[in-house]
Structure 1
Amino acid sequence: MNMTIGLPKPATVCLIEDDEAILNSCSQSLMLEGFEVRPHASAQSFLSVVRPDFPYVVITDVNLPDEDGLSLMRKVLVANPQVPVIIMTGHGDISMAVGAMREGAFDFIEKPFSPDRLITTVRNAADKAQLISQVAALSRDQSCVGQVLIGQSVRLTMLRQQISTLAPTGVDVLINGETGTGKEVVAQSLHIQSGRSGPFVAINCAALPESIIESELFGHEAGAFTGALKRRIGKFEFAKNGTIFLDEIESMPLALQAKLLRTIQDRTVQRLGANESIPISCRVIAATKRNLKTLSDQGHFRSDLYFRLNVVNLYLPPLREIREDIPLLFNFYLHQFRQKYHTPAVDTGSEVLRYLVSHDWPGNIRELRNFAERVAVGFPFAEAEATSEESPPLTLNQVLEHTEREALNSALRLASGNVADAAGILGIPAKTLYDKLTRFSIAVTDFKNA
């Protein structure tokens, strides 16, 4: 059997059950919760329609008229080990279902089961598959990693070199940078370049209520607290052989920091309500927009955790510290958005160029990207933006000469002297670029094979 299986859009379930009443009941319950359901009464019915846009989740009865569910599960997992398979079993088949989980099944549900039990299991499986799909997409298209590292400044050049050096080592990393500087993308870059086989799992410590963050990170056993109906693995376990990214680590509750420290030091995790520790094998990357040393001195962050996290520190500079890179980065995004919205490439004008290097960009790359999108769709350039109080006292001629020359040089370096490619990077017609090169006495030959 030739099966090419991938993971498409979320919330799609393939259900294989020969009992028509159960098939209809399960399908209805799942559809009411927003899942797209593809019902099949036999294994062959399912196998005959498998395409590359394979569903996220497979639910199969263990006893089918033409093939047993375990055999079907093995075929699915051979084609793609990442597809979650849920086994439906009768009371007498529990030991067999446990064996199926050892072979790779995501979970099993014992008949008769409630709609809530079915929905909870499917939702957990879909969540896992969605994370895997996102990481796979990121691995296929690594261009997003470079988007926040575009630039020819010494600082960005060194940062790219540091990432390439650190990635394969597996050492834990602390990333410092203001909001919008691309901390998560740098963490993704470290993960992708590391070649680790497991997923990249990101968690924002500031976005989770204190009441649930421990369960999210470390997992829990059934009965650990009210509402904990079944065992649930945490993010550290889910990141097996991969990378866990702890964003806004400064927001981690003090009471939980000791457990986090122990987890990182011992490379073990203890679920809520459990007595045993479970070994983990993941890289830890933390990120902060605050000065953790200052916070630890003030008693707001554990000093021992700070020193453990601060093995290797990467600093992401805000845009105001790398102004020479702003025009090139802006034009990269401008070119992207013009392609997306099919808008013509026109000269952005001196007003925009002045604003690019005079504005302080408190939102950093995120703010710059939004600005490029507005310009790409022809949104009027606001006078208030051009006359921002944050602007340093530069004359227009000074700004233009510095900005345009740096942008032209950077684009030509990236394009190895190819004028057409450089014009595409800058988002201007080739004729306009030739005119600018003449005006600034820039020789294209200086960039050939640069």
Structure 2
Amino acid sequence: MSGEKGPVIFVDDDDDLLPAAGQMLELAGFSPIVVNSAEAALARIDENFNGPVVSDIRMPRMNGLQLFDRVKAIDPDIPFVLITGHGDVELAVAAIKDGAYDFISKPYDTERLLVTLNRASENRHLVLENRRLRDAVVRSAGDMPLLGNAPSMTWLRETIRQIADTDVDVLVEGETGTGKEVVADLLHRWSRRSTKPFVALNCGALPESVIESELFGHEAGAFTGAHRRRIGRLEYANGGTLFLDEIESMPPALQIKLLRVLETRQVTPLGTNETRSINVRVVAATKVDLSDPSARGDFREDLYFRLNVVTVNIPPLRERREDIPILFAHFLERACKRFGKPEWEITAAARNHLMGHDWPGNVRELAHFADRVALGLEGARNSLPGKRGDELSLSLSEKVSLYEAAVIRNALRECDGDVRRTTEFLQVPRKTFYDKLKRYGIIPGVYRSSRDCSKSS
């Protein structure tokens, strides 16, 4: 479909050439903007222009090199491709060293130009996406909890604000790694209880003999090893919030005791008959559907109904994919700062992984992936966007062309730019070699500072 790849500005003072160039770009999926002067091109370019610029070098009033300088002053990250005549090759090589994206010799090969523009367009999209994500991370710096703009997350934040100060017990449902403790913490921080303790207990992490003491407390001598009095989590959270994670893992015997506490707001520590009144809000979290008898197992139905005054569901990451880039950008920036790494950048390979993976571990898995990328342990970080970056979206012929051009460049580099030795090294006829140099816009002289291929193994 036309326009899928974004705009391309094509500049040439040959009015007879422009319609054909525009048609070629449109058929390739771009939105062509064909103009016959550098001045007309500049009128269409700002720092948010979402595509590459292609320009002939020789034009009246303002030539292609002058246009390149003006575009670079607007935004040096706009890919600029020069169309050169035979006598302008050295100028184009100098422009490449000065930041131009690529150059193509006349008469240019259409396939070669389109391969270059596909990569240039992808590069530009990545640059702008990274800028947007950096801005979004800065804007959301003070509102990190439950970051995301998916409708489900907007609803979740609004629901939490609505019920945070109501003192009602809450059941939080969500898969592993979705951020259930973050929700519980927000319910506490956005309530009048925020000045009192927020106490968390993972019901699945402790054996039954320990969790009872942790939850209800005990007196000295209540059991072997109880040498001193211990205040339980319920009592310690008095005035604040008790977060019970993995509530479905709580032993059945303790479920009965917890149900009574929720109904009476009184606790009886082990080793005493004394009951103590408590003012505590309970937020329980589960990764299973407790409303389904087959899923809740031996979890008591009456305790479920007691906890289910208000239920908050956290959507898994795969159901809000539009939030993945901003979440990853936040985690990656945080990881880079923590590990003392350079400024972060999301590459094409990283983006493809982000949007193609199902993230069964949800936000927690995404954060760990960001840590690995920041540490350089993921290949995605080292795949540079742009000229030689991600090739997943290219056709087979484009991939073959990229590979062939890379082989030729490497051979020239090994052979110090010497054409005769390079053709012998590659075992190709000289005419075929020159045809390929012309097709890929490769200048042998650029490689004359490299080592001799005879020393290559």
Identify if the C-alpha distance between structure 1 residues 206 and 343 changes in structure 2 by more than 3 Å, giving closer, same or farther. Answer: same
Shift of 1:166: 1.1
Structure-2 residue corresponding to 1:178: 175
Give the counterpart of 1:325 among 316, 323, 329: 323
SS at match of 1:336: helix
Q: Which moved more, 1:290-299 or 1:265-274?
A: 290-299
Identify if the C-alpha distance between structure 1 residues 217 and 380 changes in structure 2 by more than 3 Å, giving closer, same or farther. Answer: closer
Structure-1 residue corresponding to 2:210: 212
Identify if the C-alpha distance between structure 1 residues 299 and 372 changes in structure 2 by more than 3 Å, giving closer, same or farther. Answer: closer
Shift of 1:344: 2.5
Give the counterpart of 2:243 among 242, 245, 254: 245
Give the letter aligned to residue 181 of structure 2.
Answer: E
SS at match of 2:243: strand
Identify if the C-alpha distance between structure 1 residues 396 and 311 changes in structure 2 by more than 3 Å, giving closer, same or farther. Answer: farther
Shift of 1:155: 0.5
Identify if the C-alpha distance between structure 1 residues 177 and 297 changes in structure 2 by more than 3 Å, giving closer, same or farther. Answer: closer
Give the letter aligned to residue 190 of structure 1.
Answer: L
Q: Deviations over 1:285-313 (max 9, x none)?
A: 00000111224776511000000001101
Trace 1:2-401 onto structure 2 (pairs within 5 A). 146-196=143-193, 197-295=195-293, 299-345=297-343, 347-381=345-379
**Aligned mates of 2:231, 2:142 — CA distance in 1:** 29
Identify if the C-alpha distance between structure 1 residues 396 and 178 changes in structure 2 by more than 3 Å, giving closer, same or farther. Answer: farther
Give the letter aligned to residue 352 of structure 2.
Answer: R
Structure-1 residue corresponding to 2:57: none
Would the aligned equivalents of 1:215 and 1:234 in 2 still touch at CA under 8 Å? Answer: yes
Q: Deviations over 1:240-288 (max 9, x none)?
A: 1110000000000011111100001110001112212110111100000
**Aligned mates of 1:342, 1:360 — CA distance in 2:** 29
**Aligned mates of 2:152, 2:394 — CA distance in 1:** 26
**Aligned mates of 2:293, 2:347 — CA distance in 1:** 44
Would the aligned equivalents of 1:176 and 1:315 in 2 still touch at CA under 8 Å? Answer: yes
Give the letter aligned to residue 334 of structure 1.
Answer: L
**Aligned mates of 2:394, 2:202 — CA distance in 1:** 42
Would the aligned equivalents of 1:145 and 1:188 in 2 still touch at CA under 8 Å? Answer: no
Q: Deviations over 1:110-160 (max 9, x none)?
A: xxxxxxxxxxxxxxxxxxxxxxxxxxxxxxxxx999435111110001111
Shift of 1:319: 0.5
Identify if the C-alpha distance between structure 1 residues 177 and 145 changes in structure 2 by more than 3 Å, giving closer, same or farther. Answer: farther
Would the aligned equivalents of 2:349 and 2:380 in 1 still touch at CA under 8 Å? Answer: no
**Aligned mates of 2:288, 2:370 — CA distance in 1:** 28
Identify if the C-alpha distance between structure 1 residues 307 and 346 changes in structure 2 by more than 3 Å, giving closer, same or farther. Answer: closer
**Aligned mates of 1:270, 1:370 — CA distance in 2:** 41
Identify if the C-alpha distance between structure 1 residues 255 and 160 changes in structure 2 by more than 3 Å, giving closer, same or farther. Answer: same
Shift of 1:222: 2.2
Give the letter aligned to residue 222 of structure 2.
Answer: A
Q: Deviations over 1:55-92 (max 9, x none)?
A: xxxxxxxxxxxxxxxxxxxxxxxxxxxxxxxxxxxxxx
Shift of 1:336: 1.6
**Aligned mates of 2:285, 2:368 — CA distance in 1:** 23
Identify if the C-alpha distance between structure 1 residues 305 and 144 changes in structure 2 by more than 3 Å, giving closer, same or farther. Answer: farther
Would the aligned equivalents of 1:175 and 1:285 in 2 still touch at CA under 8 Å? Answer: yes
**Aligned mates of 1:349, 1:207 — CA distance in 2:** 38
Would the aligned equivalents of 1:338 and 1:345 in 2 still touch at CA under 8 Å? Answer: yes
Would the aligned equivalents of 1:333 and 1:373 in 2 still touch at CA under 8 Å? Answer: yes
Give the letter aligned to residue 186 of structure 1.
Answer: V
Identify if the C-alpha distance between structure 1 residues 278 and 191 changes in structure 2 by more than 3 Å, giving closer, same or farther. Answer: same
Shift of 1:396: 8.1
Give the letter aligned to residue 258 of structure 1.
Answer: I
**Aligned mates of 1:297, 1:322 — CA distance in 2:** 25
Would the aligned equivalents of 1:145 and 1:185 in 2 still touch at CA under 8 Å? Answer: no
Identify if the C-alpha distance between structure 1 residues 186 and 147 changes in structure 2 by more than 3 Å, giving closer, same or farther. Answer: same
Identify if the C-alpha distance between structure 1 residues 321 and 298 changes in structure 2 by more than 3 Å, giving closer, same or farther. Answer: closer
How does the TM-score come out when normalised to structure 2? 0.51
Give the letter aligned to residue 258 of structure 2.
Answer: L
**Aligned mates of 1:224, 1:183 — CA distance in 2:** 34
SS at match of 1:244: strand
Give the letter aligned to residue 335 of structure 1.
Answer: E
SS at match of 2:218: coil
Give the letter aligned to residue 170 of structure 2.
Answer: V
Would the aligned equivalents of 1:221 and 1:271 in 2 still touch at CA under 8 Å? Answer: yes
Would the aligned equivalents of 1:222 and 1:231 in 2 still touch at CA under 8 Å? Answer: yes
Unpaired runs of at least 5, structure 1:
1-142, 384-393, 398-450
Structure-2 residue corresponding to 1:127: none
How does the TM-score come out when normalised to structure 1? 0.52
Give the letter aligned to residue 251 of structure 2.
Answer: P
Q: CA RMSD in A?
A: 2.5
Runs of 4+ in 1 over 4 A off after TM superposition: 143-146, 295-299, 394-397
SS at match of 1:284: strand
Give the letter aligned to residue 280 of structure 1.
Answer: I
Identity of counterpart residues, as a percentage? 57
Would the aligned equivalents of 1:217 and 1:236 in 2 still touch at CA under 8 Å? Answer: yes
Give the letter aligned to residue 333 of structure 2.
Answer: H
Would the aligned equivalents of 1:250 and 1:301 in 2 still touch at CA under 8 Å? Answer: yes
Unpaired runs of at least 5, structure 2:
1-139, 382-391, 396-457
Shift of 1:382: 6.4
Would the aligned equivalents of 2:146 and 2:182 in 1 still touch at CA under 8 Å? Answer: no
